[in-house]
Amino acid sequence: MTTQFIFFSGKGGVGKTSMACTHAVRYAEMGKRTLIVTTDPASNLADVFEQPIGHQITPIATVPGLFAMEIDPDKATEEYIDRAMTPIRAVFPAEMVRIMEEQMSGPCTAEVAAFDRFTDFLDLSNEKNENFDLIIFDTAPTGHTIRLLELPAEWSQSIDAAAAGSGQTCLGPAAAIQEAKFKYERALAAMRQSSQTTFVFVLHPEAISIKETRRAIEELSKLQIRNFQLIVNGIIPPEGTQNPLFAARAEMQKRYLEVIDRNLPYPKKYMQLLSGEIKGTERLREVAGAFFDGIPVTFAPTVSAKTSNGKFSLNKADLVTRIQPNGHRRTLFFAGKGGVGKTIASCITAVWLARLGYKTLLLTTDPAAHLGDVLGVPVGDEPQPVPGLDKLWAVKIDPKAAAEAYKTRILDDARRRGRPESAIQIMAEELESPCTEEMAAFDKFIEYASQEGWQAVVFDTAPTGHTLRLLELPLDWSKQIDVKVFASVDASAADDIAKQRFGQVIEMMRDPAQSTFAFVMYPEATPVLEAWRAAEELTTVGIRPGLVVANMVIPEEQATTPFTAARRQMQEKYLAEIAERFKVPVVQIPLLPEEIKGLDLLAELGEQIYPIETVPAG
């Protein structure tokens, strides 16, 4: 029997991991030998199954026949470089080997290596995969996943070009990775085989989630991948509509369910919003019963619904020093797990600052940019004033457009400096690698971060794992500047300028008087843990969190029914944990009857979540 593959994808925060784990448990208990693999840099499989997993195939102790693996980018990178370089070390001089290894130590290699490890599981010529009836992929948020899935075709082109030219790519020596090329082609062939592979998109009945799903399906269709199914998750159950807040949200969902039926003509299943969180195999079995068999599942309250909100109160003076400019520019970074509301939090904050009179730039480095959806106005690839609000400009960094501009600038600069055509050809080949987009997006980020004239700069950043790599790039790049990758390309004064530029941005990020890192999360187990891990990793490069934004908090006065009381109690537990873990001001964005969209609502929420005495800009 041929191994079957199921991919779970969708916008961050829609429940991909919960649904992937639910399916994995059900199929394993049906007698299918099942493996679940996550390609998300910010993995939480271990949290859901409540046991260590890590970078190896690990049996799930409480579910016979079920195995899991979390691909670790760092370990995958070590394995990848070692595998690519082993045959090279045996036949090439040590100096050439050193240059090749340096070439592979750039900041994009982790993503390359993680994808290489991921394709191992799609390759049925790998005898290890024959041991599984089913392999489930819990993928990263959609924008990141699409880039990963595009890589096989791009890499094949990159390998072909390098083999005809210098023989070197960011993937490693072309001669050493011809077999990898065939592996990537086999992986893409397996993804295109509808009888073998299914793509399940998890989405909420909300505008942005629907838009993201349609965009992802269009991108996959370009790759000739066509077997799609949908899980519409988070539907408010009848018992939830006894509360006016949830009744209003249910009406909103009803409208979007009609849009989904009309515009996404694929097989669909539906899953209700549960009153409690999904953790542990017993919970997963209950959820599987609800999803596959229609058996009701309820997570009853365990403590009194009424808890004073006083313990979550803000130190207003402390908050103002972390949000407003203080005699010089304030840069705010909004980070967190995909889908938790970073865009909403960044838009609220940018609108609030602009209304105080600060000249504010709002931008996103997220490949799945939704600034325009939340602001209610178009946002382009160059900073433009936001209509209806003086002092606010917005821009999105398009990775593909940034990459083209980046390549042109680098090659034009090389020609101006009189570098030989042979060196320029090598550089052009290198810049055609699929890693250039991330490097170019970061370079654009540096450009905006270095501009004069802004009093406040607000970054709506990418999901956590992606963001961490983005923020670590300046450190890695500055290490790379002195490395002579090509013998024909000499170091120049431009390298020193670049190093100084990176250094200034790093110091700005580390200085709490200039920069604030705000972590956005739902008050639920996984987003809190994700944010905590991200914050801990940032401290290793001298950056500490300055603010927490808790999103979609059920107002205390709405905890009037068993369903809403149970969800509010769960949130209060995690609000307390947030305050204890982070020890920084915590602001709360309330759950509203409708989606957050438009300048008027953003302004109203800004006044609500930042209830502080402010000094308007001078």
Specify the CATH number for the domain of residue 529. 3.40.50.300
Residues 268 and 358 placed together within one structural domain of the fold: no
Render pLDDT for 35-62 as a digit per residue (tens, 0 to 9): 999 877 667 788 899 999 988 899 999 9
pLDDT of residue 111: 62
Residues 231 and 315 placed together within one structural domain of the fold: no
Residues 78 and 221 placed together within one structural domain of the fold: yes
439, part of any domain: no
pLDDT of residue 102: 65
102, part of any domain: no
Residues 464 and 591 placed together within one structural domain of the fold: yes
pLDDT of residue 308: 43
171, part of any domain: no
> Residue 112 pLDDT more than 90?
no
- In this predicted model, which residue has the larger pLDDT, 26 or 490? 26
Question: What's the token pair of residue 586?
Answer: 């915590």
22, part of any domain: yes
In terms of Cβ atoms closer than 10 Å to its own Cβ (0-12, 13-18, 19+), residue 294 is exposed
Residues 243 and 358 placed together within one structural domain of the fold: no
407, part of any domain: no
pLDDT of residue 589: 95
Active site residues per annotation: 13, 15-18, 40, 526
Render pLDDT for 130-168 as a digit per residue (tens, 0 to 9): 689 999 998 754 444 445 555 555 555 554 554 555 444
| Among the ranges given (192-201, 240-249, 361-370, 376-385), the one the predictor scored with the smallest mean pLDDT | 361-370
Residues 373 and 520 placed together within one structural domain of the fold: yes
pLDDT of residue 439: 66
Residue 323: its H or E element: helix 316-323
Handedness of CA 45, 51, 54, 57 (dihedral sign): negative
> In the structure, what pLDDT confidence band is assigned to residue 483 with cuts at 50, 70 and 90?
very low
> Residue 181 pLDDT more than 90?
no
Over the chain, what is the mean pLDDT? 80
Instruction: Using the 3D structure, point to which of 237, 259, 293 is the last residue of a domain.
Output: 293
Render pLDDT for 546-599 as a digit per residue (tens, 0 to 9): 999 999 999 999 998 889 999 999 899 999 999 999 989 999 999 999 889 999
Q: How many CA atoms lie within 13 A of 609 on its CB side?
A: 32
428, part of any domain: no
Provide the domain count of the chain: 2
> In the structure, what pLDDT confidence band is assigned to residue 76 with cuts at 50, 70 and 90?
confident
> In the structure, what pLDDT confidence band is assigned to residue 469 with cuts at 50, 70 and 90?
low
pLDDT of residue 286: 93
34, part of any domain: yes
Alpha-helix runs per DSSP H in 385-483: 399-416, 421-431, 436-450, 464-480
Residues 461 and 579 placed together within one structural domain of the fold: yes
Residues 268 and 370 placed together within one structural domain of the fold: no
Residues 530 and 575 placed together within one structural domain of the fold: yes
Residues 508 and 546 placed together within one structural domain of the fold: yes
Residues 330 and 286 placed together within one structural domain of the fold: no
Residues 199 and 253 placed together within one structural domain of the fold: yes
CA 599/CA 382 separation, integer angstroms? 20
449, part of any domain: no
pLDDT of residue 176: 47
Instruction: Using the 3D structure, point to which of 232, 263, 293 is the last residue of a domain.
Output: 293
Domain span holding position 477: 309-398+456-483+504-609
